Amino acid sequence: MQRRFIAYGALLVMLSVGIGAFGAHLLKTVISEDYLKVYETGVHYHMIHALGLILIGLAAGQWGESSRLRLAGRLLMLGIIFFSGSLYMLSITGIKVLGAITPLGGVCFIAGWLCLAWEAFSRKD
């Protein structure tokens, strides 16, 4: 679990950088300024939560594997897909109904961080 979350986190950080560069260099002239801000929000949250996956992997190495850490990592990955993915698609396509998916990703992010906090508070050492 530890190596897997660190590896997924590193790959998602790399993807975030690539997606951010794509937006900054190629989309800047194609989409509106408002949609560019939406896109940048997706990249920002993508990066933060990819780093969170690395943190969860490190915590698993320190504390040992647990179902809460596993769930936390899975929730952060789902959050990236739903939250950032929907913002990327919304900003590129302009299909506003995609914005309805974004809160699901936000809930995944919150639940993932809550699982990590719950695991930390439950530790005796």
CB atoms within 10 A of CB 61: 14
Burial class (CB in 10 A: 0-12, 13-18, 19+), 94: exposed
Whole-number Cα distances in Å, 105 to 45, 79, 101, 117, 125: 10, 4, 7, 18, 32
Q: What is the pLDDT along the chain (125 residues), one digit of tens a residue?
A: 899 999 999 999 999 999 999 999 999 889 999 999 999 999 999 999 999 999 999 999 999 999 999 999 999 999 999 999 999 999 999 999 999 999 999 999 999 999 999 999 999 87
SS3 breakdown of the chain: % helix, strand, coil, rounded to 5?
90, 0, 10
